[in-house]
Amino acid sequence: MSAYRDMLHRVNRIPGVRGSMIVAVEDGLIVEEDLMVGVPGPAAAALVASLYRRARRSVATAEFGSAAYMQVEGDDGLLFAAAPPQLGDLLLVVIADIRVNVGLVRLEAQKVVEALG
């Protein structure tokens, strides 16, 4: 099992998580995925990467540094995108229901990324 796959499995154990992916920031293509049936991975990857790029541009414009984390909230769920230095030009994307514990997802994402070294 690849290091990424293992990482996604750990994140997906959190109740409310519908799946997670490793996505290339620049082209929005999936590098690794572990999603529930029915979650449209390629479309989600492309849309989240595009949103992340816009967020990154906005904080760079304001000279706030590089965007390390983005969270998009909807009435029925959430999207997370983490861009830690350990992942280079890749994003860890998590798709979750509204009942998910946001803090837990962030904590677990941080732990698994740190484990990558």
Partner 1 sequence: MTASPMQVRQWSDEVAANPGSPAFLPLAQAYREQGRRDAAMKLCIRGLERNPDHVDAHHLLGLLYLEAGDTVKAFDEWDIALALSPDHFGSRREIGLLSHARGDWGTAVRHLERALEADAFDQEVRDALEEAWAKQSGRPAAPRAADAPAPPPAAIAAAVAAPAPVPPAAAPVDGGAGAFDAVAREFRGFAAERGIAGALLLDEQGFVLAGDITVDGVDRGPDVAAVLSGASPEAERALRHLGLGAWKGILVETPEAVVRLAPAGDGLVAVAGTRQVPTGWVLRVAGRARESALRFLGEGGGA
Binding site for partner 1 (CB under 8 A): 39-40, 43-44, 47-48, 50-51, 54-55, 57-59, 61-79, 95, 98
Q: Report the alpha-carbon distance of residue 47 to residue 96 in Å, rounded.
A: 15
Nearest to residue 72, comparing CAs of 52, 43, 46, 88?
A: 52
What residue has token string 């049936």? 37
In the bound state with partner 1, the residue whose beta carbon lies nearer, of 44 and 113, is: 44
Q: What are phi and psi of 97, to 5 degrees?
A: -75, 170
Q: What are phi and psi of 78, to 5 degrees?
A: -140, 155
In the bound state with partner 1, the residue whose beta carbon lies nearer, of 1 and 62, is: 62
Minimum distance from CB of 38 to partner 1 (Å)? 8
Calculate Rg over the CA atoms of the chain.
13
In the bound state with partner 1, the residue whose beta carbon lies nearer, of 31 and 39, is: 39
Minimum distance from CB of 96 to partner 1 (Å)? 9
In the bound state with partner 1, the residue whose beta carbon lies nearer, of 92 and 95, is: 95
Minimum distance from CB of 1 to partner 1 (Å)? 26
Minimum distance from CB of 103 to partner 1 (Å)? 10
Q: Report the alpha-carbon distance of residue 28 to residue 49 in Å, rounded.
A: 5
